[in-house]
A = this chain, B = another copy of it.
Amino acid sequence: MTYQSHYFTEVRNAQANAYAPYSNFKVGAYLRTKDGKTYYGANVENAAYPMSICAERSSLVAAIADGYRPGDFESITVTVDADEPSSPCGSCRQVMKELCDDDMPVYMTNHHGDMIASTVNELLPLGFSGKDLN
């Protein structure tokens, strides 16, 4: 449950696959499951901007489609090319809330190697969840 230096290499590899012709803002995500499997995520933009999908969700959805279930995830690392590590957008935080443990680490990095660590719960305090629907 601690940030490992090789996560940085992995997430940079993931970022290389971003498809971001509209923003030119490439984002990568590196998702690890509790049983040691890894998924890459990258943002996939669309000319109709609202149909773009972020890197974090890209990795989580790939893992679910591969058979993993909510609670199976150990950590997610995100990277961008910016002076400060960017945080996940609100939609990605909501998807983490649905699929990840509240205390799952979220590691935000950038191309300088800076890193900020947080958790799902810290990033989405008072988070909306399935319990609210009942």
Residues of B within 8 A of A69 (CB): 19
Q: Scan A28-43; emit 1 where CB is below 8 A from any B CB, else 0.
A: 0000000000011110
Task: Kindly report how many copies of this chain are found in the complex they form together.
Answer: 4
Given that A17-B67, A65-B42 are contacting pairs, would A57 and B53 also be in contact in the complex, using a CB cutoff of 8 Å? yes
Q: Chain A 57-74, CB within 8 Å of chain B: the 1/0 string? A: 111111011110110000
Chain A interface main SS type: mixed
Q: How far is the CB of A80 from chain B (nearest CB, A)?
A: 7
B58 pairs with A17, CB closer than 8 A? no
Total A residues in contact with B, Cβ cutoff 8 Å: 67
Q: CB distance A94 to B51 under 8 Å?
A: yes
Interface: A1 (CB within 8 A): no
User: Distance in Å from the Cβ of A132 to the closest Cβ of chain B?
Assistant: 4
- Is A12 in contact with chain B by the CB < 8 A criterion? no
Chain A residues engaging chain B, CB cutoff 8 angstroms: 14, 17, 19, 21-23, 25, 39-42, 44-55, 57-62, 64-67, 69-70, 80, 82, 84, 86-95, 97-99, 108, 116, 118, 122-134
Having A19-B70, A89-B94, A90-B90, one finds 5 other A-B pairs with CB under 8 Å, namely A17-B66, A19-B69, A45-B98, A50-B51, A86-B128
